[in-house]
Copies of this chain bind each other. A is one copy, B any other.
Amino acid sequence: MTRVLIVDDEPQILRALRINLIARRYEVETAADGSAALRQAADGSPDLVILDLGLPDLDGVDVIHGLRGWSSVPIIVLSGRAGNRDKVEALDAGADDYVTKPFGIDELLARVRAVTRRTVLYQAQLASVQIGEHMVDLTDKTVSGKVRLTPTEWHILEILLRNPGKLVSQRQLLTEVWGERYVKETHYLRQYMTQLRHKLEPDPAHPAHLITEPGMGYRFTP
């Protein structure tokens, strides 16, 4: 069952979306403002977020950044503003789709299907992974032993662990964790990779699982 978090401050739209999604057998949670959205997303870890940009408390793009700080949940943005700037900003912040109001409910549902179709695959399985002596639990966000990871560390680690054995380019990591504009800031990555290794690898100087591929990116090998 796909769990959807709807974030909107207009009760009518909220209600219409809720009814239609429940009718299609989605599990629905709702939030009326940005901070509630961030809290509930962290709490419930939904499979999809439908986010209205016109929120009373926070700027919509900040909510996207907030979510992207630790999660790669798919986000569909709703907005009354049809300007190019707004769209580009939201999409580059990490949104997966941008729908302009007014919209047909059929279109939105089709876009929900399109976005989840892509991501369901990748969300699959992988509850916990062994790295060296540590067990990393992705759903609980816990590591065995006395290891604690920061939000950014989790975010990076999740991307790597969800692609076991595959090369993940620096560009991909940087855009997903920090955003499109940070593709040049490779020293962010270097910083956090050393931290992750010191927390997880048996011998951080000679990593066995979090591998560097010079000039390309990083790879998690189980």
Query: Which A residues fall within an 8 A CB radius of B?
Result: 74, 84-85, 87-88, 91-92, 95-98, 104, 106-107, 109-111, 113-114, 117-122, 139-142, 148, 150-151, 154, 159, 163, 165-168, 172, 175-176, 180, 213-216, 219
User: Are the CB atoms of B166 and A117 closer together than 8 Å?
Assistant: no
User: Are the CB atoms of B180 and A113 closer together than 8 Å?
Assistant: yes
Give, as a whole number of angstroms, the nearest-CB distance from A177 to chain B.
11
**Cβ contacts A to B, 20 pairs, < 8 Å:** A85-B106, A87-B106, A88-B106, A88-B109, A91-B110, A92-B113, A92-B114, A95-B114, A96-B118, A97-B97, A98-B111, A113-B175, A120-B172, A121-B159, A121-B168, A121-B172, A122-B163, A141-B166, A141-B213, A142-B165
Contacts A84-B104, A141-B213; A110 near B92 (Cβ below 8 A): yes
> For A119, what are the chain B residues with a Cβ–Cβ distance below 8 Å?
118, 122
Copies in the complex: 2
Question: Interface of chain A, helix or strand or loop or mixed?
Answer: helix
> For A216, what are the chain B residues with a Cβ–Cβ distance below 8 Å?
141, 151, 154
A83 and B20 CA atoms in complex are apart in Å by: 19
> For A163, what are the chain B residues with a Cβ–Cβ distance below 8 Å?
121-122
